[in-house]
Amino acid sequence: MPIRRALAACLAVALVTGPATAQGPSDPGESLEPMEAPPPHGIPGYPRGWPQPAAGPSASGEAEVVLTFDDGPDPDTTPIVLDILRERGLHAVFFQVGWRFRRGDLARAHAIEQRLVREGHIVGNHTVNHAKLCSVPIELGKLEVTMARGLLEQASAMPVPWFRTPYGSRCPRVEHLLGDLGLRHFHWDVDPQEWRGLGAKATAAKVIRSLHRLQGRGVLLMHDTKFATRYALPLILDWIAAENARRIKKGRPGIRIISGAQLAREQLAPTLGWLADAVNRGRRGVDAALVATVP
Ligand SMILES: [Zn+2]
């Protein structure tokens, strides 16, 4: 089918070069999570959100938090977030955009990626160009997802089975696309919306309010591309530590921070041999924390 092949080739070129609009990733300083109304779906009764709790119920029955960071890796801010997590012995899931491994300082982007995997974090797929998957043609949407996975797996030397749709878009087109690709959207429960320009203190306050009343498991969405995140994260983690001390004094369980590897063991091990494959093939960059998750 030469026409289809030609169309696919055009789409691939458009995808790799990125959109020509000001909102595209040609400006890495531009917010990649612009203010946007939920995608229109026009189907009465069609669910607008995704099921919650996003990562299932708490395995321990107690309050659990999963840290997730979107839109990186950013050469200026991601290393600072990694420093904070390393100091506190925490591990997160980073949903990344593939364009960061196509343009800009590629050596630095790859160095950050290798550090991220080496330090026990997990990489997730967030499309190549932070695509609006409810708006772009479905074939382009598929390329956004599959090409991003290829770029991220190459950069991290790890399988990238988790996917998060930009903007949390949900519509029939996205559901068909994910179904065709055998993927599932990894949603969140707490979104302080620091990407709207909220300051660090206000961001931390919003998260803390949610965590204070958290029961069961909550997935926290933040952006390692934002300086507000860099300043808010220590405030949030300090509050969790202080709150846990208060709870333990009263004989109550504290808030546990679940690592990406723990979640992978819980959610992926029964159905995917991806970690075992990675270890068996001796792929570089496989962290001891991830190796430990292989059943
Ligand atoms: Zn995003």
Q: Which whole number is the average pLDDT over 239-246? A: 97
Q: In the prediction, which pLDDT does 264 show?
A: 79
pLDDT at 52: 85
pLDDT band at 197 (very low <50, low <70, confident <90, very high): confident
Amino acid at residue number 257: I
- Is the pLDDT confidence value at 275 over 80? no
Cis check for the bond before 234: say yes or no (omega within 30 of 0): no
CATH number for position 224: 3.20.20.370
> What pTM was computed for the model?
0.80
State the pLDDT confidence band at 93, using cuts at 50, 70 and 90.
Answer: very high
- Annotated catalytic residues are 70, 223
Whole-angstrom Cα distance, residue 59 to residue 22? 43
DSSP state of 185: B
Q: What is the Å distance from ligand 1's center to 165 Cα?
A: 8
User: What confidence score (pLDDT) does residue 294 get?
Assistant: 37
In a domain, 262, yes or no: yes
Would you say residue 78 lies in a domain? yes
What's the gap in Å between 153 CA and the centre of ligand 1? 18
Question: From ligand 1's centre to the CA of 72, what distance in Å?
Answer: 9
Q: How many domains does the chain fold into?
A: 1
What's the CA-to-centroid distance between 248 and ligand 1, angstroms? 36
The secondary structure of 195-260 as a DSSP string is: GGT--HHHHHHHHHHHHHT--SEEEEEEETT-HHHHHHHHHHHHHHHHHHHHHHHTT---PEEEPH
CA–CA gap between residue 259 and residue 293 (Å, rounded): 11
Residue span of the structural domain in which 237 resides = 51-291
Q: Amino acid letter at 74?
A: D
Question: Quick check: is 41 in a domain?
Answer: no
Quick one: which of 164, 134, 132, 113 has its CA closest to 285?
Answer: 113
Q: What is the pLDDT of residues 137-152, one digit of tens each?
A: 999 999 999 999 999 9
Residue 249 alpha carbon to ligand 1 centre in Å? 39
